[in-house]
Structure 1
């Protein structure tokens, strides 16, 4: 059984290459506030962008990350703000309202959306890739990250130029990651496990959150993303046999906390796997730390597809093809 999700996953290297060939970003001001806004996968991309700005500017640029629901209805906006709204379809009401509200406040507005989205009420629009065929979004995430990387690089001088040069290697790194065997054996072990914990340190924690959303959408199993240290503070009280877990292993010093979490989860009876660049159960190609979100998500996207294949869920429709989800989800106006 092949899903549209499978095709979208393998399309990512070429989609990123295509975007990098033609992308043009507006001139931003490093001295003015940045607000990144999105929902779901787009919100995760915004979190990565804010992380990039903070690191690349050595802490000088501290961006806000707001859910588009908040930004559309109540969050303060000033004429000095630079508001970047990420929305793949470009049709959801709160991202659109957030852009309109920001423009009315006199803020600079940028929309990051698909190439076939309707016109956005923004000063500038960056188009990423065609609309995804699968409800479990993948290529729209990595191309949105690519666009956000160019924005972050444009205001962070030499560090930004080096960062952008590392982004150029992402398509090849994803292709090398896709050369790994599909994680069908691990999927068989996790298909009956619930909930599934995903954890990562620093920027990898955002990947854990994004992977948890993919698993919920594509397999209908509950999953939750954690920062590694947070996963050690309190959550072990709820760990029990029958659960699953994936820990994203850092390539940098973490005080042995990731290994401690792995060992603790196993001792408490969870089915546990590692995800990393070396000696890991789920492998991805090694890249510089800040670039990892574009590559480390790929084996977790594939894991979602493999679990879905085994349990006959539909990651393309994300449960909207079966009652009562058809009716209930149809009544939720996004």
Structure 2
């Protein structure tokens, strides 16, 4: 959940480090800090609060050095204080460390080190790492060996970057938390995510669990924990650095909502052939899923809603499928065997709960596929196969364009699975594919004509917001409610429309607008449920085409073009994203960085 940036090269590192920290703000954080080799030792500056406040503090000091590390911290062990901010150092400030993850045996290590006279000044688990390195240095080991020995004692998840006084070297290791290397003309970077250094290089190497790297001015050495050389291939990230900026938009979220036509076009490019009624997923030849008897989709948050969308699509096609919360998978997973297909849906490919579910599926002998946005992610590497959504970088904490792209990719994958399992397509491709090909243009039309800002203003003073849908409209209702609560901090709930009368109707008042999603599938039942709320005083906002009967019955109407029921929810979702955005903007919320939330949840 935290952000790491490290840099080795000529010139002063501090500007690069601060830029990297600003680029990582989207991950969520409550404190920030940097450490650099300043010629006479390690200089550290850190504080609670935002990177901008850190920059103001640094402006009063001279922090020069060609090598440095930086960090944005989201509190796990200890509150957000100056003392708990990273980097952490040993007692002599000869070692500085930044760390993402959780050290599960930190209490044991801390007690052992304290007994030997090492003094701790923070509440964090991270502080044991620099003291442990210093312990081995005091025992006479060289810097690299001391780092390796310290890492070998850690239990839990970590991405660690460290530096020792007197040398222009960074040491790093990864276990269960993401870490990536960037390289460009004698300048080298370490980061928790590519956007940290995207404006400096597009050449990256994704580390794997158990990797240790040593970075100096001569290059990068990749080894295992024992020091044995290992090969790691570099990749070119095809993200334009401008994609990681806000451009003309006030917020990343609004920019990314408006990027959905492009993201969806990229997602389907080369993968559908409307003229011949074919879906072509190059990595999944016919017969890939023969013998599969059950499909389980595991995910968290927004990705779970996309997984539910994919699961409902598969069930409609006659393939037994279940969407499961990844964080509950270890507690109550259905039976898994070699005839089970487990699909891990994760934007980052680094979500800890989803990775644990994927690893359990692998251990049980299931077939596994990852649907992700990040090519070199852990989930993509650990699954048997991967399908990439091609959405480009998503900076806003509240996922928008990735949900749409995930849902489309799961629809295409669902058709491949249905054809292999049942011998027939999941849908009428002659009608579905032309509609799918036009989805980017139809999303663009929704964006150009939306009245979501007016509706957000009309219901600004409401007490609760309900979202209802049936079939493939149900996961869109859940996602609409999640977006609303994430960035407005107002109470919102999503329901299967038929469930409204099984309890939630008791909460309906004139201050509870109900957003009803109409996909063209059993809409009369959804309309009846909406009218039940309306007769109890609740205003109803219908998300449907202009010629739909619900548009006349409802108090307000958000327009979507006519399309196939399998796709209508994706258009409705865009309208609900805009409602959430404008409602949050009216309330002056920090839309891109909602409180207590992080973009990538890399700890359980």
TM-score by length of 1: 0.88
Q: In the alignment, which of 137, 151, 173 is matched to residue 399 of structure 2? A: 137
Give the greater-gyration-radius structure (CA): 2
Instruction: Map Cα deviations across residues 20-73 of structure 1 (whole Å, 9 max, x no partner).
Output: 225534222264321111111111111111111122x3x3x1112211122245
**In structure 2, how many angstroms separate the alpha carbons of the residues matched to 1:282 and 1:331?**
33
**In structure 1, how many angstroms separate the alpha carbons of the residues matched to 2:449 and 2:353?**
39
**In structure 2, how many angstroms separate the alpha carbons of the residues matched to 1:82 and 1:102?**
9
Instruction: Map Cα deviations across residues 106-158 of structure 1 (whole Å, 9 max, x no partner).
Output: 11111111135523211112222233111111111011112111111113334
Q: Whose RCO is larger (CA < 8 A, sep 6+)? A: 1
Q: In the alignment, which of 576, 590, 599 is matched to residue 300 of structure 1? A: 576
The residue correspondences of 1:180-329 to structure 2 (distance < 5 A) are 180-254=449-523, 256-278=524-546, 280=551, 281-320=557-596
1:232: Cα distance to partner? 2.6
Counterpart of 2:269 in structure 1 is: 21
User: Whose helix fraction is larger, Structure 1's or Structure 2's?
Assistant: 1
Judged with a 3 Å threshold, the aligned counterparts in structure 2 of structure 1 residues 221 and 126 are, in CA distance, closer, same or farther, namely same
More deviation in 144-153 or 24-33? 24-33
User: Whose strand fraction is larger, Structure 1's or Structure 2's?
Assistant: 2
More deviation in 42-51 or 162-171? 162-171
**In structure 2, how many angstroms separate the alpha carbons of the residues matched to 1:245 and 1:103?**
42
1:164: Cα distance to partner? 4.1
Judged with a 3 Å threshold, the aligned counterparts in structure 2 of structure 1 residues 331 and 306 are, in CA distance, closer, same or farther, namely closer
More deviation in 89-98 or 271-280? 271-280
Counterpart of 1:39 in structure 2 is: 300
Contact 1:72 1:94 in 2 (8 A): no
The 3-state SS of whatever aligns with 1:54 is: helix
Judged with a 3 Å threshold, the aligned counterparts in structure 2 of structure 1 residues 112 and 250 are, in CA distance, closer, same or farther, namely closer
1:199: Cα distance to partner? 0.9
Query: What RMSD, in angstroms, separates the aligned Cα atoms of the two structures?
Result: 2.5
TM-score by length of 2: 0.50
Judged with a 3 Å threshold, the aligned counterparts in structure 2 of structure 1 residues 250 and 144 are, in CA distance, closer, same or farther, namely closer
The residue correspondences of 1:1-16 to structure 2 (distance < 5 A) are 2-16=250-264
1:74: Cα distance to partner? 4.6
1:204: Cα distance to partner? 1.0
Q: In the alignment, which of 425, 441, 464 is matched to residue 172 of structure 1? A: 441
**In structure 2, how many angstroms separate the alpha carbons of the residues matched to 1:277 and 1:112?**
31
The 3-state SS of whatever aligns with 1:246 is: strand
Judged with a 3 Å threshold, the aligned counterparts in structure 2 of structure 1 residues 249 and 148 are, in CA distance, closer, same or farther, namely closer
The 3-state SS of whatever aligns with 2:449 is: coil
Q: In the alignment, which of 319, 322, 327 is matched to residue 64 of structure 1? A: 322
Counterpart of 1:92 in structure 2 is: 351
Q: How many residues align?
A: 324
Contact 1:87 1:113 in 2 (8 A): yes
Judged with a 3 Å threshold, the aligned counterparts in structure 2 of structure 1 residues 331 and 168 are, in CA distance, closer, same or farther, namely closer
Judged with a 3 Å threshold, the aligned counterparts in structure 2 of structure 1 residues 258 and 83 are, in CA distance, closer, same or farther, namely closer
